[in-house]
Amino acid sequence: MMLCIFSTTCVMANLILSSSLLWILTVDAVVASGCMEVERNALLTFKSGLVDPQNFLSSWEGEDCCKWRGVACSNATGHVVKLNLRNRNSCYIFIEECPCLSGEINPSLLLLTNLEHLDVSMNNFSGTSIPTFLGSLKNLRYLNLANSYSSGTIPPQIGNLSKLHYLDLNSEFIYPRNLRIDDILWLTRLSSLKYLDLSIVNMNTSTGWLHAVNMLPSLKVLHLADCSLPGISTSLSHFNLTTLNVLDLGGNSINSTLPPWLRNLTSITYLDLSSNEFHGVISDEFLRLSTLNNLFLGYNGFKGMNPKALRYLCNLRSLDLSSFNIGGEIMEWVEMLPRCVRNNLQTLYLNDNNLGGNLSGWLEQMNSLTDINLGSNLLSGSIPAGVWKLPNLIYLYLYNNSLEGVVSDVELSYLRKIQYLDLSLNALTVRVHDDWVPPFQLKEIFLASCQLGPNFPAWLKSQSQLEGLDLSKSKIADTLPSWF
Ligand SMILES: *[C@@H]1O[C@H](CO)[C@@H](O)[C@H](O)[C@H]1NC(C)=O
Ligand SMILES: *[C@@H]1O[C@H](CO)[C@@H](O)[C@H](O)[C@H]1NC(C)=O
Ligand SMILES: *[C@@H]1O[C@H](CO)[C@@H](O)[C@H](O)[C@H]1NC(C)=O
Ligand SMILES: *[C@@H]1O[C@H](CO)[C@@H](O)[C@H](O)[C@H]1NC(C)=O
Ligand SMILES: *[C@@H]1O[C@H](CO)[C@@H](O)[C@H](O)[C@H]1NC(C)=O
Ligand SMILES: *[C@@H]1O[C@H](CO)[C@@H](O)[C@H](O)[C@H]1NC(C)=O
Ligand SMILES: *[C@@H]1O[C@H](CO)[C@@H](O)[C@H](O)[C@H]1NC(C)=O
Ligand SMILES: *[C@@H]1O[C@H](CO)[C@@H](O)[C@H](O)[C@H]1NC(C)=O
Ligand SMILES: *[C@@H]1O[C@H](CO)[C@@H](O)[C@H](O)[C@H]1NC(C)=O
């Protein structure tokens, strides 16, 4: 900006500047004085199809629909380009009636010809199926219907949205779950797609699913968890998805050896193959995916894992090798992990592995750990003081071992960040003072079969965030306190 004081040329320039500014402001004012009437009416018709007990759309009145909640217009054209009606209330925790929108999506949306972004996620349209006319909103780049539909076939018309970058149809929080895909071919036409989440959608007849996603060369994120995928192709002539960062195929019961094309995931940071029936040898090439931060392989048919084989995975933060039948001494196994892995791991799941030994001399040195699951092993001895002092622990699961000794308020007081604690099925005594006030707020605490009684633990009174509690067989002989 020019600095002008007492100069004629400068005053002239200023006049010209402010008159053109005025002109721009006037044009802006015309656009901003209210959205286009046809679009305003379309939105009002759309609203009339919705049931809105919480009055979420109370601001939807008056001339300027661009100022209504969830509506955004283009600054250049004045057209409605964005409709964000995502429900922030976590509808899914309400079994009976959620504080969200329901009803139907009215086809009047088609009059919003410039709509690029549509998000109605976490609402409840579960009585209806996904409208086919959404496939005619041809300017859509972003479509999020996650957790808002539960039934019917995903309309193949969605495949007409050739500009789509982002598609989320995940329905993990919705019951009953029977959203499905009959013929996956429509997916191959979404060639601009970068983000795709179809988790929980039933794809049990989509034998060509891998060939279909292989046609999406820009894909970075792919979530297909719990899709009942009918298998996985191990032979692909050319793997296109070299830019893929996230591949999530957990919970699909896929019975296969690891496909050779996995080694071509040269940009992968997050890989979840857990809870399938993958089996056989985990090849060296696979374990060279050095970009990996998160690797979830638990609950498959693998037998054993040589910790030295993880030497290329120095960027690993999460490692899930649950149910690998590793066996032997846990300390020996962990100490063979490459130092870069051992020092940086935040999440370590080695549950269900027949691992023996104790927790002394190794676990307390893994300072970065936030999440530990060593449940259902053969671990014995006491829990060393250094474990309680791990500075970032959020999740500590040690259930179903032979751990022994006394856990008192002194130990528990070190756990300032803990949210999930499971010490069940061990020979542990948990003994705290009646007036102890914990420094944490737990979401889950499981102390089944620990020696806890005879008094009901008074400190639980402070735990206002609890979602899960198991104190069975913990030798409590008391009346349930009224605050409970
Ligand atoms: C319009 O401009 C405002 C202010 O510069 C900005 O905050 C808003 O995001 C823009 N809207 C769109 C849809 O780009
Ligand atoms: C969602 O809507 C369906 C059908 O209208 C209804 O039966 C169900 O109770 C609703 N669910 C919630 C959580 O409100
Ligand atoms: C949209 O997709 C459907 C089904 O895939 C197809 O039959 C129809 O011709 C497409 N419409 C347009 C306008 O491309
Ligand atoms: C796919 O799932 C549906 C619904 O659960 C089921 O009725 C059908 O038999 C399954 N088909 C196959 C091929 O598994
Ligand atoms: C890889 O992607 C390109 C472009 O989308 C496609 O033409 C080709 O058929 C794909 N390759 C395979 C093996 O699917
Ligand atoms: C994977 O990458 C290797 C080496 O770059 C290449 O020879 C092979 O053809 C690729 N495999 C597939 C299925 O694309
Ligand atoms: C996986 O498939 C093989 C051969 O097709 C079969 O023998 C085996 O029982 C299957 N495993 C599981 C866990 O279903
Ligand atoms: C823990 O196990 C190691 C290795 O087996 C053993 O040397 C050590 O004595 C054990 N420590 C305790 C406290 O049991
Ligand atoms: C406890 O672990 C053993 C193996 O160490 C397993 O066989 C058993 O099923 C587990 N029990 C529970 C209740 O998880």
Counting from 1 in the atom list of ligand 9, the atom nearest the Cα of 377 is: 5
CATH of 31-230, one of 3.40.50.300, 3.30.70.260, 2.30.40.10, 3.80.10.10: 3.80.10.10
Please name the residue whose Cα sits nearest to atom 13 of ligand 5: 238
Residue 475 reports pLDDT greater than 50: yes
DSSP code, position 201: -
Instruction: Spell out the domain ranges in the chain.
Output: 31-230, 304-484
- Residue 96 pLDDT level (bands cut at 50, 70, 90): low
Question: Identical fold at 31-230 and 304-484?
Answer: yes
Q: What is the pLDDT of residues 269-290, one digit of tens each?
A: 999 999 999 999 998 888 999 9
Which CATH number is 304-484 given? 3.80.10.10
Ligand 6 centroid to Cα of residue 268, in Å, is 15
- Residue 90 pLDDT level (bands cut at 50, 70, 90): low
Pocket test for ligand 5, best of 214, 235, 236 (most atoms within 8 A of CB): 214
Please name the residue whose Cα sits nearest to atom 4 of ligand 2: 127
In the structure encoding, which two tokens stand for residue 136, read together?
A: 């005619």
- Residue 92 pLDDT level (bands cut at 50, 70, 90): low
- CB-ligand 4 contact for 206 (6 Å cutoff): no
C-alpha angle with apex 312: 307 to 314, nearest 5 degrees?
90
Residue matched to tokens 């402001």 = 25
CB 442 within 8 A of CB 419: yes
Ligand 7 centroid to Cα of residue 256, in Å, is 8
Ligand 5 centroid to Cα of residue 273, in Å, is 24
Residue 2 reports pLDDT greater than 50: no
In whole angstroms, what is the distance from residue 16 CA to residue 22 CA? 10
- Residue 95 pLDDT level (bands cut at 50, 70, 90): low
* Nearest in space to 326 (alpha carbons), one of 336, 314, 340, 312: 336
- Interval 455-484 mean pLDDT: 93
The predicted pLDDT at position 21 comes to 39
Residue 352 reports pLDDT greater than 50: yes
Residue 291 reports pLDDT greater than 90: yes
- Residue 412 pLDDT level (bands cut at 50, 70, 90): very high
14: three-class secondary structure by DSSP: helix
Give the DSSP H/E element, type plus range, for residue 102. Answer: strand 102-103
pTM value is: 0.89
Ligand 9 centroid to Cα of residue 399, in Å, is 9
Pocket test for ligand 7, best of 252, 277, 299 (most atoms within 8 A of CB): 277
In whole angstroms, what is the distance from residue 455 CA to residue 234 CA? 58
Please name the residue whose Cα sits nearest to atom 7 of ligand 5: 215
Ligand 9 centroid to Cα of residue 375, in Å, is 9
